Structure 1
Amino acid sequence: MKLQRKNRVRALAVGALAVSGALALTACGSDDTSASGGAGGAAKTANIKCEGKGKLLASGSSAQKNAMDVWVQNYSGACKDTEINYQPTGSGAGVTTFLQGQTAFAGSDSALKPEEVTKSKQVCKGGKAIDLPMLGGPIAIGYNVPGVDNLVLDAETLAKIFDSKITNWNDKAIAKLNPGAKLPDLKIQAFHRSDDSGTTDNLTKYLKAAAPGAWKHEPAKKWEGEGGQAASGSSGVSSQVKQTSGAISYFELSYATSSKITTAKLNTGAKAPVEATTANASKAISEAKPAGEGDDLALKLNYTTKAEGAYPITLVTYEIACDKGNKAETLPATKSFLTYVASKDGQGALEALGYAPLPTEIADKVRKTVTTLS
């Protein structure tokens, strides 16, 4: 496991250099940061500037849960007067709760919609909600097929699997992509998220962009595909894949890594199928374009990239907060915590968890914007 972790960190660093010149990697402390804590987590608390006190409530993206666990642990270790309670309820539920004024910020794997920004003005007195990118990473396609450990899929085949048009693992379309593989005569058990999910939104944006003829549904946080089975959260669908023969689903890479779930490679039109790794996701995310206005830092991802080694099913997780009109009792701690998350130490804590840290120029913009929250 230690060797695998070192290899994963090394791969991320190489990919990061190719993407943006330099990613916001840790400047100090151990690389051995994990959700269980230890010396790595403790070493990253020295540069945290604590502000405010009391309880900070937040909820949303389950894809960022493993990162949030480490961020909260490290921050709480330095800031004893602040208790941060983050609930991984899913992006849709997190945004809804934030727009109801119940949380200080929300985590979402897709940017706010215009109608959500409009609604946020009721909560953000004198301002509105903005998107602050905090991490990136691949959405892995995890599967459980006995005897198959090097599966290749493409967008069209994946769309048909998740829309119940391909229902057996020895289907000719899958066989064509995997010559020589011993595909079993086994029913496909496709699992999707039961909750409104930014991960679902990003997956379906990829399917719609890369296989429009096969995926007729509009991208959305709510699952629109035909058939399949549902489970709640990234932990729910990954658990189903782990325990169900013939299963396939989608979830953030860290869930595949922690549960030792095999993931599919994607035939994107590049010379070789692309594996779901943080370095390969970073190559795809590097093609993202600014989509927000003013202090909103939303990004538009390129789901149809054919660049060598670029894994196109990616997400960027945003922390959503008011630019103005934050509650006085939670504003100092919110700014302090989000500043840490976007810092070199906060981003460096992502390495061993299967996430892609923000490119330096984006992290700089996030930190600058956080200082202006009021």
Structure 2
Amino acid sequence: MKRTTLGRALALPAAAALTFGLVACGSANEPSDSGGNGGGSGLSGTISGAGASSQDAAQQAWRAGFIEANPDVTVNYDPIGSGGGREQFVNGGSDFGGTDAYLDEEELAGANERCGQVVEVPTYVSPIAVIFNVEGVNELNLKPATIAKIFNQQITNWNDPAIAADNPGVQLPDKTITPVNRSDESGTTENFVEYLKATAPQDWPHEVSGDWPVAGGEAAQGTSGVVQAVSGGDGTIGYADASQARELSTAKVGVGGEFVQYSPEAAAKVLEVSERVEGRGDYSFAYDLARDTTEAGTYPIVLVSYGIACANYDDANKAELVKAYFNYMISEEGQQAAAESAGSAPISDALRQQIQPAVDAISSGS
């Protein structure tokens, strides 16, 4: 298992920061309840964050969810990308950050110097679907090695024995496979190839990167481009954020002795079976994702994005606002808002209970 080192996020435009009012999640000094919205807290002021564009739609939903109860609070989020978000946060240029990779050792040291201890919690989980368009084939099972060979162009026909072995009884056409990949540097690509590298290293010898490493397939710009290319072809297969799969068929992927269809529950389960990175402090919940898990019902092709904050702020009001906002983001209500807006997978109650003490630790020494 490897650290996902995403400097970019899903292909969403880096727009100017949007501003919304902040609604309290109960008292800012108390853990949030499952609803995450107690109302009437009397909070006021401004906090600003920056980071992963993959979180942008979710951040808009989270911020919008605070408007009614706390019109005197403003939350800004600039989707400049994960790397820029981590750099701004470590250097004190933002109050909180969003990132598709947990802080590396150098960044962690800088964040701890600023914050005393850094708070680092998963806030956004997005499944990546293997999408396909093959006339006459509506359902497809694919083991990791088969997926790797298809995208590495070692399997080039849909009636290949390896695909047939994964799909007994299915009439597979004698048709050329057209793999479709991202032409732009992409967090979706990096997470997808990290999965291939972890689960089928002999069949996927390429280094993990946000740039697609195999020449000769069909390339398309952005998630929408990949979806359009797969939709417009016959015999096509690609990978895309599951929320954008639309009416396309999606493959079940081999996990242990079964084939698993993506779902919010199956995607979120990855974090429950993954190991927390040790030696990073009590409030860092960074995970080495178990891409090669054999745990039943787990969908391992996911993007996990984190929220980062300080356990100690110089400004007591900033601390109160950041704590309240993070409480809302991880709450059941906040996670459902993100799911409806961005198609993300809500974190489980079990994970919420684990990370709640880290959010509760956000305070001020002043």
Query: What is the TM-score normalised by the length of structure 1?
Result: 0.72
Q: Deviations over 1:219-247 (max 9, x none)?
A: 34x23522255556555544554455544
Name the structure 1 match of 2:249: 262
> Do 2:183 and 2:212's aligned partners in 1 also have CA atoms closer than 8 Å?
no
Name the aligned partner's letter for residue 209 of structure 1.
Answer: A
Secondary structure in 2 matching 1:158: helix
Name the structure 2 match of 1:289: 275
Does 2:154 align with 1:165?
yes
Secondary structure in 1 matching 2:65: helix
Secondary structure in 2 matching 1:312: coil
CA distance in 2 between counterparts of 1:359 and 1:243 reads 36
Q: 2:304 aligns with which of 293, 305, 316?
A: 316
Q: 1:151 aligns with which of 140, 146, 160?
A: 140
Name the structure 1 match of 2:103: 112
Name the structure 2 match of 1:218: 207
Name the structure 2 match of 1:35: none
Number of residue pairs matched? Answer: 327
Distance 1:69 1:235, change over 3 A: farther
CA distance in 1 between counterparts of 2:199 and 2:148 reads 9
| Runs (5+) with no aligned partner, structure 2 | 1-31
Q: 1:73 aligns with which of 55, 64, 82?
A: 64
Q: 2:288 aligns with which of 262, 285, 300?
A: 300
CA distance in 2 between counterparts of 1:193 and 1:127 reads 41
> Do 1:93 and 1:196's aligned partners in 2 also have CA atoms closer than 8 Å?
no
Name the structure 2 match of 1:183: 173
Secondary structure in 2 matching 1:131: strand
Secondary structure in 1 matching 2:243: helix
Name the aligned partner's letter for residue 70 of structure 2.
Answer: C
Name the aligned partner's letter for residue 263 of structure 1.
Answer: T
Worse-matched range after superposition: 238-247 or 206-215: 238-247
CA distance in 2 between counterparts of 1:255 and 1:182 reads 26
Name the structure 1 match of 2:45: 53
> Do 2:182 and 2:223's aligned partners in 1 also have CA atoms closer than 8 Å?
no
Name the structure 2 match of 1:84: 75
Name the structure 1 match of 2:195: 206
Name the structure 1 match of 2:260: 274
**1:350 CA drift (Å):** 4.8
**1:193 CA drift (Å):** 6.7
Distance 1:309 1:73, change over 3 A: same
Name the aligned partner's letter for residue 202 of structure 1.
Answer: N
> Do 2:313 and 2:319's aligned partners in 1 also have CA atoms closer than 8 Å?
no
Worse-matched range after superposition: 223-232 or 185-194: 223-232
Distance 1:165 1:61, change over 3 A: farther
CA distance in 2 between counterparts of 1:151 and 1:207 reads 18
Name the structure 1 match of 2:185: 195
Worse-matched range after superposition: 342-351 or 274-283: 342-351
Name the aligned partner's letter for residue 78 of structure 1.
Answer: A
Name the aligned partner's letter for residue 264 of structure 1.
Answer: A
CA distance in 1 between counterparts of 2:323 and 2:199 reads 38
Q: Deviations over 1:87-108 (max 9, x none)?
A: 5555445435545655433323
CA distance in 1 between counterparts of 2:333 and 2:77 reads 20
**1:201 CA drift (Å):** 3.9
Q: Percent identity, aligned pairs only?
A: 33
Does 2:337 align with 1:349?
yes
Aligned residues: CA RMSD: 3.5
Q: 1:337 aligns with which of 325, 336, 351?
A: 325
Structure with bigger gyration radius: 2
> Do 2:273 and 2:295's aligned partners in 1 also have CA atoms closer than 8 Å?
no
> Do 1:193 and 1:234's aligned partners in 2 also have CA atoms closer than 8 Å?
no
CA distance in 1 between counterparts of 2:64 and 2:56 reads 12
Distance 1:219 1:369, change over 3 A: same
Q: Deviations over 1:106-143 (max 9, x none)?
A: 3233322223324546xx63546542112434322122
CA distance in 2 between counterparts of 1:77 and 1:56 reads 19
